Each structure stands twice: as C-alpha cells, then as structure tokens.
Amino acid sequence: MTTTAPAAEAAAAPDERLAYRGPIQRLLIRPEIGALIGAAVIWVFFWAVTDVFGTTAGVNNYLDVSASLGIMSIAVALLMIGGEFDLSSGAITGATGMLVVLLVKEVGEFGGAGFPLSVAIPLTLIFALIIGWANGTLVEKTALPSFIVTLATFFILRGAKLGFAKLFTDKVIVEGLNDAPDHGFWENVFGAVWIRNDHVWDSFLGGRNVVYGVLLTVGALLLIVGVLELMFQRRETPAQARMPVAVVGFAAGVLGLILLAATDGTSDNWLWGIVLAAGGAVGMYGMGAWRYERRADSSAAVNLTGRVGRNVAMGGGAIALGVVLGLILDAESQTEIGFLLTVQGFRAIAYAGLIITGVILLLGAARSAGKTSARTQLAITSMAAAAIVVVAFIVQSQADSRKFRAEFFAVIIGAAVLMLAFGVLRSTFVERRKPDAVADKRGRTLAMTGIAVAFTGLAVRLMWATTFENETIRGEVRWRIAVFYFIGFAIVASYLLLRTKFGSWTFAVGGNKNAARQVGVPAARTKTILFMIVSAAGWLVGMLIAFRLNSVQANVGDGNEFFYIIAAVVGGNLLTGGYGSVIGASIGAVIMAMSFQGIPFAGWNSDWRFLFVGAILLLAVLVNNYVRAKAEAAS
C-alpha cells in the first residue's frame, strides 16, 4: 500500500550519496515486501488445496482471527522499531477485559463496583495507560532491558488476573458484561457484527461480480501504467500517433480477461486466453512506443554460454521434468509412497516445486544476462513466459474445478504476459536513471489509485454476497467490527510512523538511542509513549474480547505476546530495532492467521500445525533477508 512512499524522500534530496533507484528496487527494499510475497504464496496454496479458504466465508474466518493479533502486532511493531519489547502485551488484553467486567458488576455481587460502562471503559483505558507508562518509565529509569522489566509486568498481571478472579468470584472466569445498563450503546462500539449473507447483490449492472471484476481490472491497469511511468525515460514529445495502439491493446486485454473469467473454464477458454495475452502485450508495447524513449540498438548478440547458459539449462530442465512428472503421475491416486505422502500429494509438490524453481532460475539468468546483452535477457524472459503459458494450459486441461480452469488460468496467463511485456519493454526502451518530478508524481498517483481501486473491488467482493454464493457458502459471513478496527489502526499507525515527527523519533531511538538523544530527540518520552501505545492497543483488544464473549477467563491473552512478536518479525520488522513497518506487521498477522486456519480448512492433522508455522516463520525471515540484501546490493 505504501510501497512507493520512500520515493518522496529520494526525490526530495538531490544528494550524490542517494543514487537513483528504480521503482522495482524501491519496492523490494520495503520491509513488508517479503511478507507480501509470503502471504500471496500461502493464500494461493490454501486456495488451491481447499474448497472454502478462498470464499468470502473463508476470508471472513481468518481476517476475524487476525484482527486481535494484528492490532497488537502493529503496536508491538512500533515498539520494536523503537528498540524495545513488551512481554506484558498478551496479559494486558485479558487484564483489561476482566477489569471492565468487574467494574460494571453490581456492588456487592462478586466484588463489583457497579459503574456504568461509560465510566468503566475510560477507567480501564487509564489503567492500561498506567501499566504502559510504568513499563516505559521503569525501563528508562533503571536502564534494565525491557525484556526483564516487562516480563515482571507480565507475571504480575497474570497473577493478579487469577488472584482477583478467584478472590471476587471464586471462579477463574468473570461473567456478565451484558448486565450493564448502557451495554447496548457500547456493544455497537466494540461488539458490532455485520452479517452480510442477507445483503445479496445480484441485479445491479448485471451483478456484483461484474463490478468487482471491473474495479480489479481497472486497478491493475492503473498500477501497470503507473509503474511504467516510474520505470521508463519519457520522450521529449510523445508519439501521439501510437496512442491508439496502447488503448486498443489494453481494451482487448481487459475484454479477454473479463470473458475468460466469465467462462466456466471450458470451450472459449483458449480463445479468451489468447486475446488477453495478445491484448496485454500489444497494449504495453503501444504504451512504450507512445511515451518512452527508444533504446539505442544493442548490438550484443544472444549469448547463452557460461553461468547464464548453465542456469537456463537447469531452469528449462526443471520445468520440463515438472511437466513430465505432472503428465505421467496419476493426479487422483491416493496410494501411499512413504513419509505421509500419497502419489497425488507428491505430484502436486513436485509439479509446483520444479516449475517454480525453474522459472526462478530462468528469471535469475535473464537478470544477469541483462547486464551485457538486452537481447539475451529478452530471449530468456520469453522462454520463461512460454513455459508458464504451457503449464497454464496443462493445468487448465487437467483440472476439474472451475477455480483452476478459469480463475487460476486467467491469473497465470496474465502473469506470463506481464513478465514478457516488461521484458520486451526493458529491451526496447530506456529505463530512467534519474528523478523526474512530473513523471514520478504521475506514476505514483496512478499506481496508488490503481491499488486503491483494486482494494475497493475486493471490498465489494467481500461485502456483498450473491445468490449463488449464498447457496454454496457454509454458514454465515459475520464481519466483526474488530476487523475494521484492525484496518483503521493499520492506516493510522502507518501514517504516524511514516509521516509524522513522532515516527521519525521512533526510528531514531530504535536505531541508536544516544545519537538520537544528542540530536535532540526526546528519547525517554518517545519510548514511554510507545509502551503506552502497546498497552492502549491491549485495552482495545481487551474490550473487543469482552464484548464478544461477555465473559473473560483469567488466562485470556497469556502467552500471546510471543505471537505478536512473531507476526511483527514475519512482517519484516527487525528484532534489533530501527527498521520495520506497520503494514508489514499487519500482513504478518494475516499470515499467522492464514497458516493457523488453513490447516482445519484443509482437514489436515493438527499435530503438524507448529511444524508448519515454524517453517513459515523461517521462510518469511529468509525471504526478507534475501530480497533486502539483493535490492541493497543492486543500488
């Protein structure tokens, strides 16, 4: 979402130490990009192996789980960027939830204070802020590691929760929040539920799917055009005569995409796939011919020797092997071949693994070839794109579910076209090497608008049901207000971190506290406020839990601090401080929720759950590390 944000800093400072970075590079060094790739991979994986994961009901399920986790991991990420930890962040959620219930209980009944919620809720917030302030002040005054100080707070809260619950109610659970007189109003604030199955949208403009499809396509188109604008060197005067080529090409591509998605994946599929591919490629080329400066002819011939040649051979071989395995192994066979794998499972893993490896090898080879010969780069890119298209057609012809025949097919073809078109453009037109204020602004605006439009499309998809979907969804789609708090908090916190003075202070104290103090950053105050943000977020989550359940158990939230930190790390935040992102932490929370919820959706044995989570964590950190190292080395 904020992928292009650092562009502002780069453009505003014409310093020779700040070499110009292209938009792709700038994108890759963002902390959240590894998490974004990881989230996409996990989503596609579970979407492919389950029935429900990709439906509105499935999305509703894991977003619901990610809401509390995400609100906390955002706050924890801010604190981590500021260089500290808060191990009491899990316990505070349960503590505030219990406190608010005890405060509204009738006087005399289980030690209740008998306050209305309008008094009890602010009091609970004050309690949370005091805990956060105490954490921050203790860490600052004693100079002890926050790890130790907040561990003590954690134990104190944990003991107090159980102790007071037993003391007042003789039970390990406090119940009866809904007895409060003003419960109705506050339930709308913290416990509102929006059931969307009864909001059916079949008829307007031919149905929800059309609106969703158009918004998503227009968004993608704007994003592509925006990225092109950021990537390439503008011509002095645009060749207006070429404009129609771009427009017609893009129009044909969009038409092909819509018609392809509208088929159930049979007869017309091939035709629309070709229309999509040809239209998209022509549109992008036309865009280049219209607006960008043509590259001086590169005379270096195609050269497939040495390391590049080896990688091409290996990549091509891997793809070929994958295709052959995919064709000879029985896709339906449940015969066990050892280590918990059936032939079907082995085929899926080998197929996907080999082809993905092959494509990555080819793209790597294309990248290194690009340094010497643009033609070689284009040739290899075309090979990769062709391989992807072949695989797409094989999947399409073998699949028996609509999602593979139509949706997956369209996405793969689209990806191959994008890859090829970018390859062609890069070998034909000049890539920009310096800032261009007008093009930067326009490109950024287009790209951001595209992302916003595409997200609107997704929201339309999630917020309205169709009659068809209602018949196939198993159960109700209940959007809880918690999800909206999560999204809202992500936006607010991201703004706070990237666009305010306080955000810069946060990075500074996390990077080097003494240096920050010497340049005038109020380090102690910044850290204390960060601790208070964490406990305030804990208060919000405590309220959300209390209003959802009406009762809070003494152990609610204990141990969750661990998962908040994991989500932040998966989202690209460094444990050492000074680096990270709020959006990354949000994506990290969604990744955690998807990995947890994907297992029951797939009907797998839950004994393997933590093995799976561990693998995802490791993979996310490795991808993050790799991508960042590559992107920084390239600049």
| Residues contributing to the site for other proteins (CB under 8 A) | 50-52, 57-58, 61-62, 64-65, 67-68, 94, 166, 170-173, 175, 474-476, 478, 545, 548-549, 551, 553, 555-560, 596-597, 600-603, 606-607, 609-610
Rank residues 59 and 180 by Cβ distance to other proteins and give the closer one. 59
Nearest distance from C-beta of residue 601 to other proteins, angstroms: 5
Q: Is the dihedral of CA 96, 98, 99, 100 positive or negative?
A: positive
User: Could you give the count of Cα atoms lying within 13 Å of 501 in the half-sphere of its Cβ?
Assistant: 4
| Minimum gap (Å) between residue 8 Cβ and other proteins | 38
Closest CA to 290 of 340, 345, 246: 246
Name residue, tokens 């339930």: 187
| Residue 602 CB, nearest approach to other proteins (Å) | 7
Residue type, 48: A
How far apart CA 159 and CA 136 sit, in angstroms, is 21
3-class DSSP state of 7: helix
What's the min distance (Å) between Cβ of 79 and other proteins?
A: 21
- The residue written with tokens 């979407």 in the block is 47
In the bound state with other proteins, the residue whose beta carbon lies nearer, of 62 and 212, is: 62
Shortest gap between Cβ of 447 and other proteins (angstroms)?
Answer: 34
Find the shortest distance in angstroms from Cβ 568 to other proteins: 18
Q: How many CA atoms lie within 13 A of 31 on its CB side?
A: 24
Which is closer to other proteins, CB of 21 or CB of 548? 548
CA gap 100, 74 in Å, rounded: 23
State in angstroms the smallest separation of the CB of 130 from other proteins: 24
- Cα separation, 565 vs 575, in Å, equals 9
| SS3 per-residue string spanning 424-457 | HHHHHECECCCCCHHHHHHHHHHHHHHHHHHHHH
Shortest separation between residue 477's beta carbon and other proteins, angstroms: 9
Helices (H), 500-608: 501-511, 513-518, 523-549, 560-570, 582-602
**Cα dist from 466 to 199, 207, 625, whole Å:** 8, 8, 42
Q: Which is nearer to other proteins, 14 or 475 (CB)?
A: 475
Nearest alpha-carbon partner for 502 in 476, 515, 516, 521: 521
Nearer residue to other proteins within complex by CB, 52 or 223: 52
Whichever of 376 and 586 has its CB closer to other proteins, that residue is 586
Is 41 in contact with 532 (CB distance < 8 Å)? no
User: Which CB atom, from 268 or from 476, has the smaller least distance to other proteins?
Assistant: 476
Closer Cβ to other proteins, 49 or 274, answer by number: 49
Closest to other proteins by CB, 171 vs 499, is: 171
Q: Which residues pair with 374 in a beta bridge?
A: none
DSSP-based helix, strand, coil % in the chain, nearest 5? 75, 5, 25
Strand ranges for 85-239 from DSSP E: 173-175, 193-195
Q: How far is the CB of 474 from other proteins (least distance, A)?
A: 4
Residue 190 or 272: the one with the smaller Cβ distance to other proteins is 190
CA pseudo-torsion sign 536, 537, 540, 545: negative
Please state the closest distance from residue 387 (CB atom) to other proteins, in A.
Answer: 33
